[in-house]
């Protein structure tokens, strides 16, 4: 059973690198929880991006069934991220203040994968690249992403292919705005799902995604208020006041607006 010359479990998974990447900067007991909570979230985000990018390519090519499977997996990943807050919630303000100063000015604001998920979905606020300018590779990756059609842009492309009067966006580097022609197209899809089943299913997959995303934001702001109250964030924002404003962000406004008309 010697694995001296064969690939072992740890070799395959790169576990030495993963399990030696926890470097608490204080003696506080809960700092390990804080680090692992973020690292596992970033790993799940990596998988979500892998699935979202592949789903976007398949949707653009008109191969919707495998894309649905990937988007369903993204929804399960988001559930995982949402459940993870239950672990972090066991950390009280007393526990957190034991090591908060050790975090310096670092903050979730600098999670480039979180911003990339927003950018791939289509919520592109170029000002959010600011916190990544110290890493030209990451800022560059976000800029390149903002120049590509988003997940929602390729979905709009499917509406056009199906004969709806929907034009590609003239600018890709901004959040999606509600558009009368697109809302009218979705209205026809939702009024007659049997005729437009794939588009209907696609729309509901996007709704699932945004629904889970909103729950993540809500869990975040609630946990933050529970742990630091209304203190300013280490990233320089007002903290809870900023995160509450972010709850209003809408990824797919047409899909939310069409509901009022049905
Ligand atoms: C006790 C735990 C946490 C606290 C107190 C906290 C606090 C904050 C605060 C105050 C902000 C606003 C930016 C700033 O001024 O710093 C922020 C942003 C952010 N945090 Fe957390 N956070 C916590 C846990 C997490 C976890 C577990 C994640 C998961 C990766 C996360 C990801 C983010 C992201 C992505 C942002 C940017 C949000 C946006 O711009 O919309 N945070 N956090
Ligand atoms: N913004 C947080 C700090 C923080 O949460 C954080 C710091 C370093 C690495 C990840 C973090 N998590 C999410 O924002 C605070 O103000 O306490």
User: Residue 172 is part of which domain span?
Assistant: 28-261
Report yes or no on 125 lying in a domain: yes
Ligand 1 centroid distance, CA of 163 (Å):
42
Closest residue (by CA) to atom 8 of ligand 2?
Answer: 107
- 184 to each of 70, 84, 215, 229, how far by Cα in Å? 27, 38, 28, 43
pLDDT at 3: 86
What atom of ligand 2 comes closest to residue 109's alpha carbon?
14
Q: Ligand 1: residues whose CB is within 6 Å? A: 37-38, 41, 88, 96, 107-109, 111, 114, 220, 223-224, 227-228, 233-237, 239, 242-243, 246
Spatial separation of the C-alpha atoms in residues 158 and 2, rounded to whole Å: 54
Spatial separation of the C-alpha atoms in residues 110 and 235, rounded to whole Å: 8
Report yes or no on 54 lying in a domain: yes
Report yes or no on 16 lying in a domain: no
Ligand 1 centroid distance, CA of 13 (Å):
28
* Mutation to probe ligand 1, out of 220, 233, 241, 250 (largest number of atoms < 8 A from CB): 220
CB 22 within 8 A of CB 33: no
Report yes or no on 5 lying in a domain: no
Total domains in the fold of the chain: 1
pLDDT at 146: 98
What atom of ligand 2 comes closest to residue 38's alpha carbon?
10
CA nearest 71: which of 114, 117, 116? 117
CA nearest 220: which of 249, 238, 240? 240
CB 74 within 8 A of CB 58: no
pLDDT at 45: 98
CATH of the domain at 190: 1.20.58.480
- Model confidence pLDDT, tens digit, residues 23-32: 999 999 999 9
Report yes or no on 4 lying in a domain: no
- Model confidence pLDDT, tens digit, residues 194-250: 999 999 999 999 999 999 999 999 999 999 999 999 999 999 999 999 999 999 999
Closest residue (by CA) to atom 7 of ligand 2?
Answer: 107
**Average pLDDT by stretches of 10, the chain with 262 residues:** 90 98 98 98 98 98 98 97 96 98 96 98 98 97 98 98 97 98 98 98 98 98 98 96 98 98 96
Nearest bound ligand to the CA of residue 25: 2
């Amino acid at each position: 059973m010697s694995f001296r010359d064969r690939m072992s479990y740890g070799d395959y998974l790169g576990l030495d690198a993963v399990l030696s990447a926890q470097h608490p900067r204080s003696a506080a007991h809960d700092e390990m929880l804080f680090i692992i909570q973020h690292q596992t979230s970033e790993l799940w985000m990596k998988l979500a991006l892998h699935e979202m990018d592949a789903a976007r390519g398949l949707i653009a090519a008109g191969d919707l069934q495998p894309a649905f499977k990937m988007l369903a997996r993204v929804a399960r990943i988001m559930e995982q991220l949402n459940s993870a807050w239950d672990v972090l919630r066991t950390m009280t303000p007393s526990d957190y203040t034991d090591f908060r100063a050790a975090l310096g000015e670092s903050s979730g604001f600098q999670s480039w994968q979180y911003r990339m998920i927003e950018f791939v979905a289509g919520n592109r606020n170029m000002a959010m690249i600011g916190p990544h300018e110290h890493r030209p590779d990451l800022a560059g990756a976000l800029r390149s992403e903002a120049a590509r059609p988003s997940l929602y842009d390729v979905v709009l492309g499917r509406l056009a292919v199906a004969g709806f009067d929907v034009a590609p966006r003239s600018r890709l580097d901004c959040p999606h705005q509600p558009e009368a022609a697109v809302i009218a197209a979705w209205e026809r899809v939702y009024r007659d799902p049997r005729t437009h089943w794939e588009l209907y299913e696609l729309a509901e997959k996007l709704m699932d995604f945004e629904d889970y995303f909103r729950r993540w934001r809500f869990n975040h702001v609630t946990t933050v208020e529970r742990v630091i109250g209304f203190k300013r964030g280490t990233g320089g924002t007002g903290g809870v006041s900023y995160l509450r404003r972010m709850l209003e962000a809408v990824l797919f406004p047409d899909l939310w607006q069409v509901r009022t008309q049905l």
